[in-house]
Amino acid sequence: MPRRLTIAPSILASDFAKLGEEVRAVDQAGADWIHVDVMDGHFVPNITIGPDVVKALRPHTKKVLDVHLMIAPCDPHLEAFAKAGSDIITVHVEAGPHLHRSLQAIRALGKRAGVSLNPATPVDTVEHVLDLVDLVLVMSVNPGFGGQAFIPSAIGKIRDIRAMVAGRPIDIEVDGGVGPDVAGALAAAGANAFVAGTSVFKGGTQDAYKANIAAIRNAALGARGEAI
């Protein structure tokens, strides 16, 4: 039985001047999770948002807040993101030498733990933490910015990770350059959670978001052989 198909719009591509409204709009438009990209200007070249913004967004949706930390070090900030109302907290393999400890800390805070790999990072870097994670996030762009081109080698990595997790209750999420054009191949390879910024928020209205989310979902469902 494949894991639940999940569409997670990245609010990085939304209008930051009206974030609460944008979160409510994608929630109403059919988002399963809300993906929050946290960047520190150090681990990645861009700076975005911190725990106070997650806390401010929390009352705007009951959907899962899927918080992607692109920060190093991450450990000093895990508690703040947990208390802010994150449901999933994902840290990067490359963010420090003590990945195992970071994942233990997220679980100890009562949150679902995710681990993410950059495009150049081999899949075996997550092999020994699989029993500590609820989600593996495969980056299909170099993290830091929205609107970049999808890197096709992510498809093979997803296939390898799907084989590696072998029946464990782990979501396989893909992030970067994802739209209806690649969602089918990603779903066929074994991804079940799809982060999408540009391809969801294009059009700028709730109706557009609804059509954009449905297009990604239908492409993935078709590849899984499930009814649309």
Residue (77 or 104) nearer to ligand DX5, CB: 77
CB of 36 vs Zn ion, minimal distance in Å:
8
Strands (E) across 118-199 are located at 135-139, 171-175, 193-196
The C-alpha atoms of residue 102 and residue 42 are separated, in whole angstroms, by 18
Q: Measure CA 145 to chain center.
A: 14
Task: Please state whether beta strands 33-39 and 6-9 pair in parallel, antiparallel, or not at all (unpaired).
Answer: unpaired
22 binds ligand DX5 (CB under 6 A): no
Shortest Å, Cβ 91 to ligand DX5 = 13
Q: Which of 146, 161, 162, 219 contacts ligand DX5 by CB under 6 A?
A: 146
- Of 47, 38, 8, 4, the C-alpha closest to 224 is 4
How many residues touch Zn ion under the rule CB under 5 A: the total is 3
Catalytic residue among 27, 32, 37, 40, which? 37
Distance CA 202, CA 173 (A): 21
For residue 148, give the DSSP letter.
Answer: P
Return d(Cα 23, Cα 31) in angstroms, integer: 9
Q: How many positions of this chain bind ligand DX5 (CB under 6 A)?
A: 21
Phi, psi of 22 (to 5 degrees): -65, -40
Pair 147, 178: CB distance under 8 Å: no
Binding string to ligand DX5 for residues 168 to 187, with x set by CB under 6 A, is what? -------xxxx---------
Note if 37 is an active site residue.
yes
Active site residue 175: yes
Q: Which of 27, 32, 40, 175 is catalytic?
A: 175
**Residue from 29, 93, 126, 195 binding ligand DX5 (CB under 6 A):** 195
Binding marks (x or -) toward ligand DX5, 102..141, rule CB under 6 A?
A: ---------------------------------------x
| 138-47-28-211 Cα dihedral, nearest 10 degrees | -60
Binding of Zn ion by 68 (CB under 5 A): yes
Q: Kindly identify the residues of this chain, within the stretch 38-97, that bind ligand DX5 according to CB under 6 A.
A: 68
What are the helix and strand counts (H, E) for the chain?
8, 8
Q: Which residues bind ligand DX5 (CB under 6 A)?
A: 10, 12-13, 35, 37, 68, 141, 143-144, 146-148, 175-178, 195-199
Catalytic residues: 37, 175
